[in-house]
């Protein structure tokens, strides 16, 4: 079987590489020549554990190819994945320009029956538009060729993408015909053989599943953050409450960790996009509006705590920030709480020194020379007024109190992910601020 994956971003690259690993012949296509020539020479544009090795392995075995030649890759494939970006437009709705351009190219270049699958996160109703775009191009060519559109959303987590792809909780596929279902069954067989379920459904349901899944997960986070804020007022501890509710199997103990808010390229964008979709049908998703608002506020909560501790005098103060990426094991800083927090600190006249194990180069793009970049976690602590932990990288988990005390000007720690032991902090004489925890 030969397939093409158009778009070599995060989703496309992981998808193409993992399918190649099953022995399928995969061509990854992108219009970005620099990106493709880098990929050809084994340079991976994103940080994803295990991906570089897998790409190299499959390129060497001759079943993973990179090209800018869209035409050739479409002509030679039985199935095309559309995995290009859908950036949020100004009003928060997903911009489909790139997806529809690929659909047009499919219509222009296809030579045989094709299954065209949307893999990018696209609004409900996109498959219909993709189909229309392909049909339109075929009509212009004056040819009649059979094709099917399908929706196959991805549920990869950054930092764990390979494992998520290889051992999926479920594979969701929306199709309109049995023929398309057959092709996709065959393609996913290596993954379903070891018990991972594939769920076939209609196209709008598959498109909706993606948004509903991310919206549900975002809801869990905003819910727990809201309860955490109340915990502080009533003198409760969110860590206890989390365990208390999480042991109820109906609630579950995953994704109920309070923190400085959710970030990344998915949750914020998808929550906003589904709200927009609903609006376009004259319906208000009131719960998700609240989820989004709570999260915007939650990103500011650490700054609020910092301001209160320093009695609104942040001017001239220096803050050591640990962790910049929106979560550990990625260099991605899109919608990261760190961006909001650091910008606010700078605006209040403070100096910020940062350290992140992998996101330092991304931080340079965001902050330029408005902040200082440390060479290791302890370097940024020198003469800082407080430590602010934003992203819970494993290397930040064990604190050396002696060094901390020696380097920091004040014994103050703001813990945006509740990773430190509150009692231990107090025993060591530190002022400690977590999220939803009271002394
Ligand atoms: C998310 C989903 O988890 C994936 O299933 C989905 O495929 C992906 O979006 C997507 O749509 O592409 P991802 O954005 O990589 O994956 O990150 P998550 O691991 O889900 O974390 C998102 C944010 O939630 C992070 O900022 C994290 O710190 C925060 N979070 C997570 C919490 O604040 N509390 C929790 O309990 C869990």
ipTM of the complex: 0.96
Same domain for 237 and 321, yes or no, is: no
Domain contains 205: no
What is residue 27's DSSP assignment?
A: E
420 lines ligand 1 (CB under 6 A): no
Residue 439: the pLDDT is: 63
Residues in binding site: 30, 35, 86, 121, 155-158, 210, 255-259, 263, 269, 327, 334
The C-alpha atoms of residue 158 and residue 204 are separated, in whole angstroms, by 25
Q: Are residues 180 and 107 in the same domain?
A: yes
> What phi-psi label fits residue 206: left (phi over 0), alpha (psi between -120 and 50 degrees) or beta?
alpha
How confident is the model over 111-152, as pLDDT tens digits?
999 999 999 889 999 999 999 999 999 999 999 999 999 999
Q: Is 173 exposed, middle or buried (0-12, 13-18, 19+ CB in 10 A)?
A: buried
Q: Whose CA is nearest to atom 24 of ligand 1?
A: 262
Can you give the pLDDT at residue 437? 95
The pair of three-digit structure tokens given for residue 7, joined into one six-digit string: 């778009």
Task: Please check whether residues 13 and 158 belong to one and the same domain.
Answer: yes
Write the CB contacts of 385 (distance below 8 Å, at least 6 apart in sequence).
310, 317, 318, 319, 408, 409, 410, 412
Question: In the beta sheet, which residues pair with residue 319?
Answer: 352, 386
- CA of residue 291 to ligand 1 center, whole Å: 14
Q: Judge if 274 and 376 occupy the same domain.
A: no
Is residue 263 lining ligand 1, measured as CB closer than 6 Å? yes
pLDDT value at residue 369: 96
Task: Over range 155-162, report the average pLDDT.
Answer: 92
217: Cβ below 6 Å to ligand 1?
A: yes
Torsion of CA 224, 227, 229, 230, to 10 degrees: -170
Vertex 402 angle, CA 398 and 408, to 5°: 95
The parent domain of residue 419 ranges over: 299-433
When computed from its CA atoms, the radius of gyration of the chain, rounded to whole angstroms, is 24
Side-chain-facing half-sphere of 14: CA atoms under 13 Å: 23
Calculated CA dihedral for residues 153, 156, 162, 164, nearest 10 degrees = -90
User: What span, in angstroms and rounded, lies between the C-alpha atoms of 412 and 215?
Assistant: 35
Residues 330 and 392 in one domain: yes
- Whether residues 279 and 310 share a domain: the answer is no
Say what the pLDDT of residue 42 is: 85
Q: Which of 129, 65, 79 is nearest to 99 (CA)?
A: 129
Mutate to test the pocket of ligand 1, among 158, 295, 296 (most ligand atoms within 8 A of CB): 158
Q: Average pLDDT in the 164-187 region?
A: 97
Residue 184 and residue 39 share a domain = yes
The verdict on residue 206 lying in a domain is no
Residue among 14, 160, 217, 260 to mutate when testing ligand 1 (max atoms within 8 A of CB): 217
What percentage of the chain carries pLDDT values higher than 90?
Answer: 92
* % the chain with pLDDT above 70: 100
Q: Are residues 375 and 261 in the same domain?
A: no
Ligand 1: does its nearest atom lie under 6 Å from the Cβ of 153?
Answer: no
Q: What is the pLDDT of residue 298?
A: 98
Q: Whose CA is nearest to atom 9 of ligand 1?
A: 266
Last residue of a domain, one of 170, 199, 228: 199
Average of per-residue pLDDT values in the chain: 96
Give 156 Cα–ligand 1 centroid separation in angstroms. 9
The finding on whether 389 has its CB within 6 A of some atom of ligand 1 is: no
In a domain, 348, yes or no: yes
248 is a domain residue: yes
Active site residue 266: yes
Residue 19 lies in a domain: yes
Residue 384 Cα to ligand 1 midpoint, Å, equals 31
Looking at the CA of residue 159, tell me the nearest atom of ligand 1.
15
Q: State mean pLDDT over 332-346.
A: 97
At residue 210's C-alpha, the angle toward residues 217 and 193, to 5°, is 105
Beta carbon of 416 within 6 Å of any ligand 1 atom: no
Domain count, the chain: 3
Which has the closest alpha carbon to 294: 265, 324, 262?
262
Query: Domain for residue 64, yes or no?
Result: yes
Tokens of 413: 């720690």
Model confidence at 259, pLDDT cuts 50, 70, 90, reads very high
Measured CA to CA, the distance from residue 400 to residue 397 in angstroms comes to 10
Residue 354 in this model has a pLDDT that exceeds 90: yes
156 lines ligand 1 (CB under 6 A): yes
d(CA 167, CA 171): 10
Question: Both 249 and 320 in a single domain?
Answer: no
What is the spatial distance between Cα 292 and Cα 340, in angstroms, rounded to a whole number? 15
Q: How far is CA 260 from CA 151, 211, 338, 392, in A?
A: 33, 22, 9, 11
pLDDT digits (tens, 9 = 90+) for 71-91: 999 999 999 999 999 887 788
């Amino acid at each position: 079987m030969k397939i093409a994956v158009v778009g070599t971003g995060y989703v496309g690259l992981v998808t193409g590489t993992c399918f190649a690993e099953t022995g399928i012949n995969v061509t990854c296509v992108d219009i970005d020549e620099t990106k493709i020539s880098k990929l050809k020479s084994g340079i991976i544009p994103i940080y994803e554990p295990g991906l570089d090795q897998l790409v190299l392995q499959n390129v060497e075995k001759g079943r993973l190819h990179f090209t800018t030649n869209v035409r050739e890759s479409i002509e030679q494939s039985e199935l095309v994945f559309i995995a290009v970006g859908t950036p949020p437009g100004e009003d928060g709705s997903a911009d489909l320009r790139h997806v529809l351009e690929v659909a047009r190219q499919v219509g222009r270049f296809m030579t045989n029956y094709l299954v065209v699958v949307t893999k990018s996160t696209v609004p409900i109703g996109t498959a219909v538009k993709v189909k229309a775009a392909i049909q339109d191009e075929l009509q212009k060519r004056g040819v009649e060729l059979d094709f099917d559109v399908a929706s196959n959303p991805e549920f990869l987590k950054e930092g764990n993408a390979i494992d998520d792809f290889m051992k999926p909780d479920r594979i969701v596929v929306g199709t309109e015909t049995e023929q398309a279902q057959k092709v996709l069954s065959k393609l996913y067989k290596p993954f379903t053989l070891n018990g991972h379920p594939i769920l076939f459904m209609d196209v709008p349901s598959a498109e909706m599943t993606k948004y509903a899944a991310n919206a549900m997960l975002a809801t869990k986070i905003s819910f727990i953050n809201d309860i955490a804020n109340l915990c502080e007022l009533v003198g409760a501890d969110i860590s206890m409450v989390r365990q208390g509710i999480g042991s109820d199997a109906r609630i579950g103990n995953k994704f109920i960790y309070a923190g400085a808010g959710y970030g990344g390229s998915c949750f914020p964008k998808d929550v906003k996009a589904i709200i927009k979709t609903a609006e376009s049908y004259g319906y208000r998703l009131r719960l998700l509006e609240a989820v989004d608002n709570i999260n915007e506020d939650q990103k500011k909560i650490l700054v609020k705590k910092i301001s209160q501790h320093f009695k609104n005098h942040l001017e001239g103060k220096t803050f050591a920030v640990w962790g910049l990426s929106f979560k550990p094991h990625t260099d991605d800083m899109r919608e990261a709480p760190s961006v909001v927090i650091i910008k606010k600190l700078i605006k209040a006249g403070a100096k910020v020194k940062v350290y992140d194990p992998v996101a330092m180069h991304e931080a340079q793009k965001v902050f330029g020379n408005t902040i200082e970049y440390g060479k290791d976690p302890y370097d940024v602590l020198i003469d800082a007024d407080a430590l602010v932990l934003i992203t819970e990288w494993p290397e930040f988990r064990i604190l050396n109190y002696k060094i901390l005390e020696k380097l920091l000007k004040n014994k103050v720690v703001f813990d945006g992910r509740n990773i430190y032991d509150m009692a231990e902090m107090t025993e060591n004489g530190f002022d400690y601020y977590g999220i939803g925890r009271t002394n």
